[in-house]
Chains A and B, each alone.
Chain A
Amino acid sequence: MSAGDLQNTIAAIWRIESPKLIAALSRMLRDVGRAEDLAQDAFVVALSEWPDRGIPRNPGAWLMTAAKRRAIDQIRRDETLNRKAQRFARELSGDALEADVASTYEEIDDDMLRLMFVACHPAVSKEGHVALTLKLAGGLTTAEIARAFLVSETTIAQRIVRAKRTLAEARVPFEVPAGAERVQRLASILETLYLIFNEGYAATAGDDVLRPELVEDALRLGRMLAALIPNESEVHGLVALMEIQASRMRARVGQTGEAILLLDQDRGKWNRMLIARGLDALARAESLGDALGPYTLQAAIAACHARAPTAEQTDWERIAALYDALAQLAPTPVVELNRAVAVGMAVGPQAGLDIVERLLDEPALGTYYLLPSVRADLLLKVGRASEARAEFERAASLARNTRDRTFLLTRAAACTMSSTKA
Chain B
Amino acid sequence: MRFAVLVKASKDSEAGVLPTTEQLDEMGRFNEQLAKDGVLLAGEGLQPTSKGARLRFDGGRTTVTDGPFTETKELVAGFWIVQGKSKEEIVERFMQAPFDGGHVIEIRQIFEVEDFGDNATPEIRERAERTWKKAK
Neighbouring B residues of A57 by C-beta, 8 Å: 95
Neighbouring B residues of A216 by C-beta, 8 Å: 1, 83, 85
CA distance A57 to B92 in the complex (A): 10
Query: Given A227-B35, A250-B113, A5 and B88 touching (CB < 8 A)?
Result: yes
Residue of A nearest to B126 (CB): A268
CB of B38 within 8 A of CB of A227, answer yes
Query: Given A250-B114, A266-B129, A273-B42, A220 and B136 touching (CB < 8 A)?
Result: no
From the candidates A13, A227, A269, A273, name the one contacting B92 in the complex (CB within 8 A). Answer: A13
In angstroms, how far is the closest chain A Cβ from the Cβ of B10? Answer: 22
Any B CB within 8 A of the CB of A222: yes
CA distance A184 to B112 in the complex (A): 38
Number of A-B contacts (CB under 8 A): 81
Neighbouring A residues of B61 by C-beta, 8 Å: none
From the candidates A60, A223, A272, name the one contacting B132 in the complex (CB within 8 A). Answer: A272
CB of B38 within 8 A of CB of A221, answer yes
CB of A220 within 8 A of CB of B88, answer no
CB of A267 within 8 A of CB of B112, answer no
Residue of B nearest to A60 (CB): B96
Neighbouring A residues of B32 by C-beta, 8 Å: 227
CB of A268 within 8 A of CB of B86, answer no
B: interface residue count bin: 35 or more
A: interface residue count bin: 35 or more
Neighbouring A residues of B96 by C-beta, 8 Å: 58, 60
Any B CB within 8 A of the CB of A224: yes
CB of B38 within 8 A of CB of A15, answer no
CB of B89 within 8 A of CB of A12, answer yes
CB of A15 within 8 A of CB of B41, answer no
CA distance A221 to B39 in the complex (A): 9
CB of A224 within 8 A of CB of B38, answer yes
CB of A219 within 8 A of CB of B83, answer yes
Residue of B nearest to A249 (CB): B112
Any A CB within 8 A of the CB of B36: yes
Neighbouring B residues of A15 by C-beta, 8 Å: 85, 89
Neighbouring A residues of B88 by C-beta, 8 Å: 5, 8-9, 11-12
Residue of B nearest to A269 (CB): B113
B114-136 vs A, Cβ < 8 Å mask (1 yes, 0 no): 10000000000111111111001
A364-389 vs B, Cβ < 8 Å mask (1 yes, 0 no): 00000000000000000000000000
Neighbouring A residues of B85 by C-beta, 8 Å: 12, 15, 213, 216
CB of B89 within 8 A of CB of A220, answer no
Any B CB within 8 A of the CB of A127: no
CA distance A221 to B35 in the complex (A): 11
A200-229 vs B, Cβ < 8 Å mask (1 yes, 0 no): 000000000000010010011111100110
Any B CB within 8 A of the CB of A309: yes
CA distance A16 to B86 in the complex (A): 12
Residue of A nearest to B29 (CB): A105
In angstroms, how far is the closest chain A Cβ from the Cβ of B117? Answer: 10
Any A CB within 8 A of the CB of B81: yes
Query: Given A5-B88, A59-B92, A273-B42, A220 and B133 touching (CB < 8 A)?
Result: no
Any A CB within 8 A of the CB of B104: no
CB of A109 within 8 A of CB of B36, answer yes
Query: Given A219-B83, A277-B41, A224 and B89 touching (CB < 8 A)?
Result: no
Neighbouring B residues of A9 by C-beta, 8 Å: 88, 91-92
CB of A16 within 8 A of CB of B93, answer yes
Query: Given A219-B38, A219-B83, A273-B81, A16 and B92 touching (CB < 8 A)?
Result: yes
- CB contacts under 8 Å to B, within A203-261, are 213, 216, 219-224, 227-228, 250
- CB contacts under 8 Å to A, within B26-54, are 29, 32, 35-42
CA distance A160 to B81 in the complex (A): 33
CA distance A5 to B86 in the complex (A): 11
CB of A220 within 8 A of CB of B38, answer yes
Neighbouring B residues of A267 by C-beta, 8 Å: 129, 132
In angstroms, how far is the closest chain A Cβ from the Cβ of B35? Answer: 5
Neighbouring A residues of B136 by C-beta, 8 Å: 307, 309
CA distance A213 to B130 in the complex (A): 30
Neighbouring A residues of B127 by C-beta, 8 Å: 268
CA distance A43 to B125 in the complex (A): 46
From the candidates A11, A220, A269, name the one contacting B39 in the complex (CB within 8 A). Answer: A220
Q: What are 27 A-B contacts defined by CB distance under 8 Å? A: A8-B88, A9-B92, A12-B85, A12-B91, A16-B37, A57-B95, A112-B36, A216-B83, A219-B83, A220-B37, A220-B38, A222-B38, A223-B38, A223-B39, A224-B37, A224-B38, A227-B32, A227-B36, A250-B113, A250-B114, A267-B129, A268-B126, A268-B131, A268-B132, A273-B81, A307-B136, A309-B133
Q: Which 6 A-B pairs have the closest CB atoms?
A: A268-B129, A223-B38, A220-B38, A268-B128, A12-B89, A224-B38
Additional A-B contact list (18), CB under 8 Å, known A11-B86, A250-B114, A273-B41? A8-B88, A11-B88, A12-B86, A12-B89, A58-B96, A59-B92, A219-B38, A222-B38, A224-B37, A266-B125, A266-B126, A267-B129, A268-B126, A268-B130, A269-B113, A277-B41, A307-B136, A310-B133
